């Protein structure tokens, strides 16, 4: 069998395009190439306009203008040894972070120098998500690292570049039922087969913990709740009540299970299936108010062309949410759109506050949990904004 790490072709960059690669940025767009974009999925050697070697990249063939993702820099030799070294470094980092959970992101793509590869651990099962077909030929090295070094008993594979609804079992069977994870004091069901992302939104772990700290005695509205993990954190932190709203009935089913796992009473009126914009409007028109409102919608902006419409979405959803926060209450408002920077997000929130007649103070600008590292050289890969705000009447 031929070596899947073997590099045969070379791709030359346009003059000047080497600067960001030399700073450690892993992405090269098709406009930065002097040579034709690679057509296959084999790794390529990347050189500057003068032919000086910059490293090795995997071709981006999942559509769009992202042509190459660097995986080795300078003299590094792309091979099984380097890949295992990167994986070991990623795991060692998580070990140092004292993460209070048995579920975590072990490999965060570009943040761990492995652009296009995500590995999440849920107890004894690892879920790989690959965003480029170029990862496929070397996955054996990743899988054997996970089974031999981390001793996971199950490995599932999701191909993020395909619109597949179910992951493939690589080691062990597909789990027949949701697996249970622990996050702080919470016990949470995770559906690794039909769930969203790799099964759970691990990036919000620290924000859920923080919500639990400020939830004592509060009534909580959890808009875009998914499996109710923010509600569970709030209730375990002493909240009086938490209402979950999500468009997915499956997600709300998991949320109900989560209440059961944590010995919390699950009342029908605390699980509202439907469009969060509509449900929020209805709640506001009935005069409902909550001490704490969480807004964690799906990414409204996935490509640049969606920016304007997406920002209108963030404004609108925050307008609905602000109307539901009791005066003096708290809003935890999130955006997982990497293309929406803090300034644009703040602009949408301010427009919402003006229309809602509220004064909003930002208490904490939070982000993703530290098992989602962001390379300083690649700020575009920083996706999550989670702002804890206080809401008052307009002065």
What torsion, rounded to 10 degrees, do the Cα atoms 210, 211, 212, 217 define? Answer: 140
Q: Which residues bind ligand SAM (CB under 6 A)?
A: 196, 201, 204, 224-227, 229-230, 246-248, 251, 275-276, 296-298, 336
Segment (H or E) for 90: helix 80-96
- Contact residues for 81 (Cβ-Cβ < 8 A; gap 6+): none
**CA atoms within 13 Å, Cβ hemisphere of 118:** 20
CB burial class (10 A; 0-12, 13-18, 19+) of residue 171? Answer: middle
SS3 assignment, position 68: strand
Residues ≥6 apart with Cβ < 8 Å to 288 = 324
Q: CA-CA distances (angstroms) from residue 10 to 34, 42, 52, 251?
A: 11, 11, 11, 46
Q: What is the DSSP letter of 257?
A: H
334 as an active site residue: the answer is no
CB of 141 or CB of 207, closer to ligand SAM: 207
CB atoms within 10 A of CB 200: 27
Number of Cβ within 10 Å of residue 48's Cβ equals 19
Instruction: State in angstroms the smallest separation of the CB of 103 from ligand SAM.
Output: 12
Q: Copy the structure tokens of residue 191.
A: 């559906």
Q: Which residues contact 285 (CB under 8 A, 6 or more apart)?
A: none
Residue 30 contacts residue 37 (beta carbons within 8 Å): yes
Q: How far apart are CA 262 and CA 186, in angstroms?
A: 7
Single out the residue of 198, 204, 256, 206 nearest to residue 227, CA to CA: 256
Instruction: Give the catalytic positions in this structure.
Output: 336
């Amino acid at each position: 069998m031929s070596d899947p790490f073997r590099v045969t072709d070379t791709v030359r960059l346009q003059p000047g395009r080497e600067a960001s690669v030399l700073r450690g940025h892993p992405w090269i767009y098709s406009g930065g190439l002097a040579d034709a974009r690679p057509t296959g999925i084999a790794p390529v050697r990347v050189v500057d306009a003068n032919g000086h070697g910059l490293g090795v990249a995997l071709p981006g063939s999942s559509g769009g203008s992202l042509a190459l993702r660097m995986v080795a820099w300078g003299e590094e030799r792309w091979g099984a040894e380097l890949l295992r070294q990167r994986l070991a470094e990623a795991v060692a980092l998580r070990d140092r972070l004292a993460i209070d959970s048995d579920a975590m992101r072990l490999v965060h793509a570009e943040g761990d120098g492995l652009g296009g590869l995500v590995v999440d651990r849920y107890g004894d099962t690892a879920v790989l998500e690959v965003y480029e077909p170029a990862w496929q030929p070397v996955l054996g090295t990743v899988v054997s690292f996970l089974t031999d070094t981390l001793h996971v008993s199950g490995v599932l594979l999701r191909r993020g570049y395909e619109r597949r609804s179910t992951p493939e079992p690589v080691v062990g069977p597909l789990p027949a039922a949701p697996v249970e994870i622990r996050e702080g004091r919470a016990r949470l069901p995770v559906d690794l087969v039909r769930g969203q992302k790799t099964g759970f939104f691990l990036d919000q772990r620290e924000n859920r913990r923080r919500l639990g700290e400020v939830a004592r005695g509060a009534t909580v509205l959890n808009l875009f709740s998914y499996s109710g993990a923010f509600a569970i954190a709030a209730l375990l932190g002493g909240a009086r009540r938490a209402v979950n709203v999500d468009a997915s009935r499956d997600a709300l089913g998991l949320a109900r299970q989560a209440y059961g796992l944590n010995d919390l009473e699950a009342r029908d009126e605390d699980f509202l299936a439907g469009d969060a914009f509509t449900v929020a409007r209805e709640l506001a028109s009935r005069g409902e108010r909550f001490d704490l409102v969480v807004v964690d919608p799906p990414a409204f902006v996935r490509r640049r062309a969606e920016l304007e419409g997406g920002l209108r979405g963030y404004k609108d959803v925050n307008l609905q949410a602000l109307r539901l926060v009791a005066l003096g209450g708290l809003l935890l408002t999130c955006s997982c759109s990497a293309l929406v920077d803090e300034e644009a997000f703040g602009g949408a929130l301010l427009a919402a506050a003006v229309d809602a007649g509220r004064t909003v103070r930002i208490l904490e600008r939070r982000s993703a949990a530290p098992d989602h590292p962001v390379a300083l050289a690649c700020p575009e890969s920083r996706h999550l904004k989670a702002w804890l705000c206080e809401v008052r009447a307009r002065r």
